[in-house]
Amino acid sequence: MEDVISTTPWEWMIPYQLGFLRGQQFSEAFTEAYDIRPTSTAATAYGIVYAYKEAVERAGTTDTQALIKALEGHEYTLLKDRQQWRAFDHQNLQTIYVVRSKKREEVVSDRLRSDFFEVIGSLSGEEAAQTFAQWRAEREAANKPPHL
């Protein structure tokens, strides 16, 4: 699998390669607790729970409609750079990283054998996600209202 190019929203080594301190702290705590490095899924789960907690604090309630309002348009920085819960479609806009898989020798020489990728590029969430016009056109084509 060496030299395969792919994309990912997060991998444990990205905070180290790009200088995201909180992501480094998360990776270190996770690795210490479980003796494996956190996956993108682990970071996503952590981020979603954290976003929910903060939304409850901002809304002052667990009422669903109040939480939706607290999340819509909310920008934050957690394990990497800026992210946003987009208001019109509730997508989480975030940087997508272009990665290349490392050579086998590099992977197996790592203590946990999980240093798979190097970041070779990125795409902002705004560039990666469909526009409001595209989203609205899809909604219209499906006979759905222009709002959630």
User: Binning pLDDT at 50, 70 and 90, where does residue 56 land?
Assistant: very high
- Taking the C-alpha atoms of residue 116 and residue 2, their distance in angstroms, rounded to an integer, is 9
Q: 110 near 8, Cβ under 8 Å?
A: no
The string of pLDDT tens digits covering residues 16-38 is 999 999 999 999 999 999 999 99
- Taking the C-alpha atoms of residue 130 and residue 122, their distance in angstroms, rounded to an integer, is 17
Inter-CA distances, 131 with 13, 36, 93, 126, 139, Å: 30, 37, 11, 8, 12
- Taking the C-alpha atoms of residue 117 and residue 97, their distance in angstroms, rounded to an integer, is 11
pLDDT at 146 > cutoff 90: no
Inter-CA distances, 92 with 8, 13, 25, 51, Å: 14, 21, 22, 11
pLDDT at 148 > cutoff 90: no
- Taking the C-alpha atoms of residue 48 and residue 34, their distance in angstroms, rounded to an integer, is 20
pLDDT at 97 > cutoff 90: yes
User: Binning pLDDT at 50, 70 and 90, where does residue 1 land?
Assistant: confident
Domain residue ranges in the chain: 5-141
Q: Burial-class residue 72 by CB neighbours within 10 Å (0-12, 13-18, 19+).
A: middle
